[in-house]
Amino acid sequence: MSVHFPFLTLLVFLPAAAAVLIALLPSASAGAAKGIAMVFSVATLVVAAAATVVFRPGFAGFQLVSSHPWVPSFGISWELGVDGISLFLVLLTAVLFPLAVAGASESAKPRSFLAWMMLLEAACMGSFLALDLFLFFVFFELTLVPTYFVIGGWGYAKRTTAALKFFLYTFLGSAFLLVGIVAVALLHKQATGHLTFSLPALAATPGIGGTGGALLFLAFTIAFAVKAPIFPLHTWSPDAYGESPTAGVVVLAGIMAKLGAYGIVRFDFELFPHQTMAFAPLLLTLAVIGIIYGAIVAARQKDLKRMMAYSSLAHLGFIVLGLFALTDIGVAGGVLQMVNHGLFTAALFLLIGMLYRRHGTWQADQLAGLQRRLPILAGVFTVVMMASIGLPGLAGFVGEFMILAGAFISHRWWAVVATTGVVFSAVYLLWAYQRVFHGPEKADQVRSVDLSWTERAVLAPLVALMIFIGVHPQPLLSRITPTVNQLVGHVTGQPARVQTAASVKMASPLRAGSSTPVQVASVTTTAVGSGKGS
Amino acid sequence: MLQAAFLILALPLAGFVLLAIFGRRLGDPAAGYLGALAIAAAFVSALVTWAGLLALPSASRQYQQHLFGWFSAGSLKVPVALLVDPLSMTMALFVTGVATLIHLYSVGYMRGDPQYSKFFVYLNLFVFSMLTLVLSNNLVLTFLGWEGVGACSYWLISFWFHRPSAASAGKKAFIYNRVGDVGFLVAMFLIFDKTHTLNYTAIFAALHGGMLSGPVVTVALLLLFLGAVGKSAQIPLYPWLVDAMEGPTPVSALIHAATMVTAGVYLMTRMSPLLAVSQTASVVVASVGVITAFVAAAAACAQQDIKRVLAYSTVSQLGYMFLAVGAHAYVAAIFLMVAHAFYKALLFLGAGSVIHGMHDEQDIKRMGGLRRYMPVTAATFVVAWLAIGGVPPLAGFWAKGDVLLNAWADARWMWAVGLLTALLTAYYIGRETVLVFYGPERWRSLGPTSASDRSDAHGNASSDPHEAPAVMTLPLVVLAAASVLGGLLNLPFSGMDVLTHWLSPVVTAPRILSLGVSARWTLEAADAVVALLGVALAVGLWRKRSDRQALEPHWLLAGWGLDEAMDRIFARSGTRLAAVAADGDTRVIDGAVMGVARAVRYGGARLRLLQSGYVRNYALGIALGTVVILGYIVSRAAL
């Protein structure tokens, strides 16, 4: 297969086409809608898998780049590309959508539900692939609309409020992002006389300094921090996760939360290396607070979906900790953990959905002793729970270990406090498990039946991936680390690859701030140049 | 032959996978025999590997087997690789040996349990984890095994999950262990930060190369010791092990003898080159060890539950092992660990046989005179009592004597506390043995407790206690023989200290070599006298009576109140903290957000003439406003 094959454009267009096709169907044809959604999302997965195969490991820059002018007068182009950081997020998106669609049991108006879901997949794909800031913004905003309608249309009791809160909160964050994007492009034009929204070109601009740079960094970061979420901008998530239908929350927590973390590493790191260094202690502190605080509040939740929302806050805290550790090990761990978190969060929400289907509730105190009637569901829940807790041999451990080891090298005390989070994560999950699955069973639960074959088929790929990544994450890491090494070099002003303990400690924010822009620029341009050449 | 090392891990893993997939179809007892076979095969592989190691000259007995790369990024490279040396082989041999017997015993013990095959799934994974822990050539893979045994103990302790007490005990075990794990993790980060490696031999090379300063070594060791305190149930993290007897009895035997609590002692022994240069860490380890030994032994004297006595006994014996480690007597620690594995497995399996025969009765005050009904169990239990009590010439006498000799050479007060603990040890196990197997048949008059109907593992209660089937008594006999002869591993006579020579390439030689012959014999004689005194006390006090409240004060029954204190300090205040935090999240943080939203809505209502009231218009307003403000700031900043 030639490398000129438009893999990435297809990844956006296939689900978008499915959305259009489903919307055009006559309203009665529910089966056809589901069929189209499955066929197209599986086709997207096949393309994503093929792109992963074609992707060259050991190579830092963007690959499979497709670039076409879109609005030339404003310097906006359809520019898509994939590198070690986005590759597995794209694959994760492609894996989770068919499973979310297959695992969903939304019976009311399935046609419009599926159309929104497919549009959401296209938007998520676009967000992870876009190399043009304006294009990214369009996709990033486009994720909001289907999510709003999915929560508002197919959610539970307080869905309207939750959907509105989600929409307004994230939209407010996006407003900052829009301002930031426009300002970055204009400042670039001021400096070079050339208007462009292309990330590689903008990243090569000499860094923006002073208060303006700091404000722009914050504008970007707030948008991403809301989306992730990062403490204290998280309070939309318990409502949105709690009221969202299963398929919606799988995407919301499994994929869109990563969009926030991805935005930070893709845009903050590339565009604002100096500010990233300068603000790292702040973000690290918020991350550590999120880890501890999220886990403590999670322990109090009897509502399993709200518990998962706080659990996500804690896990995203780990991811942000790894990213802002700004060491090759920590950032690589953070990127890997984005994928891992996507897998086990999605699986847990699917399992909670399956419990709801049987017992009409996800309140832990209304369930008990389910392990007796549902041994397989309980077994899968246990494995996924252990992956989330970070049991070595399953997906969560490797990422968490790298994050903490990487953070320890550059920011020792943050890492030490964060490590205590491993106790708390065990507390809330084991407690929830005990409430739901252990103890004597309740009288009204005797009818429940264990996992159906469809449900097993939905969960099996996720469990298999968790075990695979837990035992042999090297195929992922060998593709992630080259990009990460180069990016860490870009941010810290150190030459890539030779990140030792000593060199990171020497690089105080001030020193990095004084590093020559020329050096930073040259690193980035070579990478992008060779990326296009492939 | 050394290449067979990977089989020691692969066979239990294969057993686990096969049982997980086909276990339910195999059923009872085929699944059990498959599980036992996997572990027995691992034992044979360990023997083969051991033979390979023996064939090498003493100084070069070290073999690393690289299986595959686990993960790597930057300078962090973590392989799945094994370190075969005298220490890891000693561990592998006794773990697989004792575990095989426990598996065999479980085939009979678990008969009729509705989750029969699942039990062996966990059991095989448990043994696999422990073997990974001891055979790994680096700290991270050891941590995999370390966490693996933690998870398996969680599953097995809460095996009868419908009992709330079992479910809580399992959770407690995991969480207590996780507290220790924080120490283990941070120690790894610190060591990696300083040495850029987590491979044992490379760490020791870095130590000798001067890459680790004194304070760093001490901090790293204390952090690792926190992990060991959690895993090996020392003060203050031992309450989980006492509750862990909620699991089926073979699980207790496995946890206490072979696959879990010895991990902490192993880890500290493995890191002995670091301990050798940190006197501070050594003193801490020894002090915690000896104090735990005494405290737990005292608590054991007042327990009523046949398994609780044994649980406190294990805590106490592990304390001895840490005393030895802290006194730089690593060989003595391993010697006691192996000897303890024999007689503690025997005690637990014997207790299981009693519980089985008494139809799930566990209160020793409701037993008595059982030797007439279960002669094999009684005889082997007595052997185990004399062995753990330190009566010569059984294994415990030599092993504990070795520890106490070293304590004498290290610090006299530790030796004194250790000797007092030895007296208590002979006494409390004696109390249990006498109350269970001798004296009047109290169960005839007292009737069963309510506790006796709590397990669904065994069928309906018939009248008299009965002896266990051969599949259960055979392991008892083998372990009894090992408990008698275990001392041969390391006799304190020149040329007969086999274990000392065998381990000499890995750990430094003990200091007692400087002790004079007469001093040694005096100390050994003191041990023997103390042991016999304890035995005599137990028989004298409990032969006729089963009720001496003065000797069983409530605070000792409650284990010095440590469990209660931990519960009060951490569990309850933790729950309260979570409640406050959850409340604060809704009221303060979300309250602020919703407050802003209400203010906007209020403003919107005021401006209703201008605005339509639709949400999207608010959003648009917010967006535009922000654009204007930020645009202004940016343009100012850019100029």
First to last CA, chain B: 76
For residue B634, give the nearest of A216, A431, A499 by CB distance.
Answer: A216
3-class DSSP assignment, residue A363: strand
Is pLDDT above 80 for B392?
Answer: yes
Residues of A in contact with B567 (CB under 8 A): none
Instruction: Please state the three-class secondary structure of A364-430 as a single string.
Output: HHHCCCCCCCCHHHHHHHHHHHHHHHCCCCCHHHHHHHHHHHHHHHHCHHHHHHHHCHHHHHHHHHH
Looking at residue A533, its pLDDT comes to 34
For residue B66, what are the β-bridge partners? B81
Q: SS3 helix, strand, coil % of chain B, rounded to 5?
A: 75, 5, 20
Looking at residue A365, its pLDDT comes to 85
The 10s digit of each residue's pLDDT in A339-380 is: 999 999 999 999 999 988 888 888 888 888 888 888 899 999
* Nearest one of A263, A252, A266, A9 to A126, comparing CA atoms: A9
The 10s digit of each residue's pLDDT in A23-57 is: 888 776 778 888 888 999 999 999 999 999 999 88
Residue pair A151/A166 in contact by the 8 Å Cβ criterion: yes
> Would you tell me the crossing angle of helices A30-54 and A87-103 to the nearest 10 degrees?
160
Cβ neighbours, 10 Å, residue B426: 26
Per-residue pLDDT averaged across A451-460, rounded?
90
Residue pair B92/B131 in contact by the 8 Å Cβ criterion: yes
Burial degree of B17 (CB within 10 A; 0-12, 13-18, 19+): middle
Residues of A in contact with B582 (CB under 8 A): 297, 300-301
**Cα–Cα distance list, B239 to A163, A433, B266, B345, B561 (Å):** 46, 22, 21, 20, 10
Mean residue pLDDT of chain B comes to: 87
Residue type, position A90, single letter: V
Looking at residue B612, its pLDDT comes to 53
Residues of A in contact with B185 (CB under 8 A): 401, 404, 419, 422
Higher pLDDT among residues B292 and A512, named by residue: B292
Give the Cα separation of A116 and A32 in Å (integer): 15
Residue type, position A376, single letter: I
- Confidence class for position B288, pLDDT limits 50, 70, 90: very high
* Nearest one of A205, A207, A202, A211 to A181, comparing CA atoms: A202
Q: Choose from B116, B117, B163, B185 for mutation: most chain A CBs within 10 A.
A: B185
Instruction: Enter the DSSP assignment of B305.
Output: B
Is pLDDT above 90 for A319?
Answer: yes
Chain Cα centroid distance, residue B597? 53
Residue type, position B508, single letter: T
Give the Cα separation of A460 and B288 in Å (integer): 46
Per-residue pLDDT averaged across A139-156, rounded?
86
Looking at residue B580, its pLDDT comes to 84
Per-residue pLDDT averaged across B533-543, rounded?
89
* Nearest one of B83, B105, B86, B408 to B250, comparing CA atoms: B105
Of A62-66, A173-177, A513-517, B554-558, least confident by mean pLDDT is A513-517
Per-residue pLDDT averaged across B561-579, rounded?
81
Q: What is the ipTM of this complex?
A: 0.89
Write out the DSSP string of B110-143: TTT-TTHHHHHHHHHHHHHHHHHHHHBSBHHHHH
Residue pair B280/B219 in contact by the 8 Å Cβ criterion: no
Residues of B in contact with A501 (CB under 8 A): 193-194, 196
- Report the gap between the CA of B286 and the closest CA in chain A (Å): 26
Residues of A in contact with B570 (CB under 8 A): none
Looking at residue B38, its pLDDT comes to 95
Give the Cα separation of B605 and B313 in Å (integer): 73
- Confidence class for position A414, pLDDT limits 50, 70, 90: very high
CB atoms A176 and B630 under 8 Å: yes
Structure tokens at A5: 């094959």
**A472 has a chain B CB within 8 A of its CB:** yes
Looking at residue B317, its pLDDT comes to 94
Instruction: Enter the DSSP assignment of B572.
Output: I
Is pLDDT above 80 for A507?
Answer: no
Structure tokens at B24: 């339910």
Residue pair A92/A462 in contact by the 8 Å Cβ criterion: no
Give the Cα separation of A496 and A505 in Å (integer): 15
The length of chain A in residues reads 534
CA dihedral B240, B241, B242, B248 (to 10 degrees): 110
Is pLDDT above 70 for B328?
Answer: yes
Give the Cα separation of B421 and B404 in Å (integer): 11
Looking at residue A368, its pLDDT comes to 84
- Confidence class for position B573, pLDDT limits 50, 70, 90: confident
Structure tokens at B526: 């003191």
Which helix (H) or strand (E) is B66 found in, with range? strand B63-73
Specify the pairing of strand A76-82 against strand B63-73: unpaired
- Confidence class for position A388, pLDDT limits 50, 70, 90: very high
Residues of A in contact with B186 (CB under 8 A): 408, 415-416, 419
Residues of A in contact with B74 (CB under 8 A): 327-329, 332, 481, 485, 497, 499
CB atoms A174 and B623 under 8 Å: yes
Looking at residue B356, its pLDDT comes to 84
For residue A164, give the nearest of B144, B615, B622 by CB distance.
Answer: B615
Give the Cα separation of B41 and B590 in Å (integer): 59
Structure tokens at B525: 């004689």
Residue pair B41/B11 in contact by the 8 Å Cβ criterion: yes
Of all residues in chain B, the percent with pLDDT exceeding 90 is 54
Is pLDDT above 50 for A521?
Answer: no
Give the Cα separation of A436 and A418 in Å (integer): 28
Residue pair A433/A369 in contact by the 8 Å Cβ criterion: no
For residue A438, give the nearest of B167, B593, B597 by CB distance.
Answer: B167
Which helix (H) or strand (E) is B83 found in, with range? strand B76-84
**Cα–Cα distance list, B551 to B205, B446, B537, B548, B554 (Å):** 53, 22, 12, 6, 10
CB atoms A391 and B148 under 8 Å: yes
For residue B167, give the nearest of A169, A211, A434 by CB distance.
Answer: A434
Is pLDDT above 70 for A5?
Answer: yes
Of A47-61, A89-103, B272-286, B457-471, least confident by mean pLDDT is B457-471
Chain Cα centroid distance, residue A408? 24
Of A49-63, A393-407, B388-402, B582-596, least confident by mean pLDDT is B582-596
Instruction: Enter the DSSP assignment of A194.
Output: -
Structure tokens at B482: 């090992």
Give the Cα separation of A372 and A363 in Å (integer): 19
Give the Cα separation of A197 and A514 in Å (integer): 26
Looking at residue B417, its pLDDT comes to 94
The length of chain B in residues reads 639
Of A249-258, A441-450, B128-137, least confident by mean pLDDT is A441-450
Question: Which residue shows structure tokens 């492609």?
Answer: A94
Which helix (H) or strand (E) is B78 found in, with range? strand B76-84
Instruction: Compare all CA atoms of chain A with the CA of B169 and give the residue at the minimum distance.
Output: A434
- Report the gap between the CA of A121 and the closest CA in chain B (Å): 23
For residue A79, what are the β-bridge partners? A67
CB atoms B182 and A371 under 8 Å: no
For residue B147, give the nearest of A168, A392, A419 by CB distance.
Answer: A392
Which helix (H) or strand (E) is B73 found in, with range? strand B63-73
**A145 has a chain B CB within 8 A of its CB:** no
The 10s digit of each residue's pLDDT in B35-70 is: 999 999 999 999 999 999 999 988 889 999 999 999
Write out the DSSP string of A48-81: HHHHHHHSPSS--S-EEEEEEEEEGGGTEEEEEE
First to last CA, chain A: 14
For residue B72, give the nearest of A430, A474, A484 by CB distance.
Answer: A474
Give the Cα separation of B506 and B510 in Å (integer): 12
Looking at residue B350, its pLDDT comes to 92
Looking at residue B32, its pLDDT comes to 92
- Predicted TM-score of the model (pTM): 0.90
The 10s digit of each residue's pLDDT in B411-469 is: 889 999 999 999 999 999 999 999 999 888 888 877 665 544 444 444 444 567 888 88
- Report the gap between the CA of B580 and the closest CA in chain A (Å): 9
For residue B305, what are the β-bridge partners? B363
Q: What angle do CA B504, B508, B514 make, to 5 degrees?
A: 105
Looking at residue B457, its pLDDT comes to 44
Segment 225-254 of chain A within 8 Å of chain B by CB: 232, 234-236
Residues of A in contact with B157 (CB under 8 A): none
CB atoms A477 and B171 under 8 Å: no
Cβ neighbours, 10 Å, residue A14: 25
- Report the gap between the CA of B527 and the closest CA in chain A (Å): 42
Q: Choose from B16, B66, B67, B71 for mutation: most chain A CBs within 10 A.
A: B71
Q: Choose from B174, B212, B567, B585 for mutation: most chain A CBs within 10 A.
A: B585
Looking at residue A532, its pLDDT comes to 36
Segment 163-202 of chain A within 8 Å of chain B by CB: 164-165, 167-169, 171-172, 174-176, 178-180, 182-183, 186-187, 190
> Would you tell me the crossing angle of helices A395-410 and A412-419 to the nearest 10 degrees?
150
CB atoms A299 and B590 under 8 Å: no
Looking at residue A389, its pLDDT comes to 93
Structure tokens at A117: 């879901």
Question: Which residue shows structure tokens 């007897």?
Answer: B245
Q: Choose from B189, B246, B629 for mutation: most chain A CBs within 10 A.
A: B189
R_g over Cα of chain B: 28
Structure tokens at B107: 């085939």
Of all residues in chain A, the percent with pLDDT exceeding 90 is 47
Mean residue pLDDT of chain A comes to: 85
Looking at residue A505, its pLDDT comes to 37
- Confidence class for position B330, pLDDT limits 50, 70, 90: very high
CB atoms A164 and B178 under 8 Å: no
Number of A/B CB contacts below 8 angstroms equals: 201
Instruction: Compare all CA atoms of chain A with the CA of B619 and give the residue at the minimum distance.
Output: A168
Chain Cα centroid distance, residue B497? 27
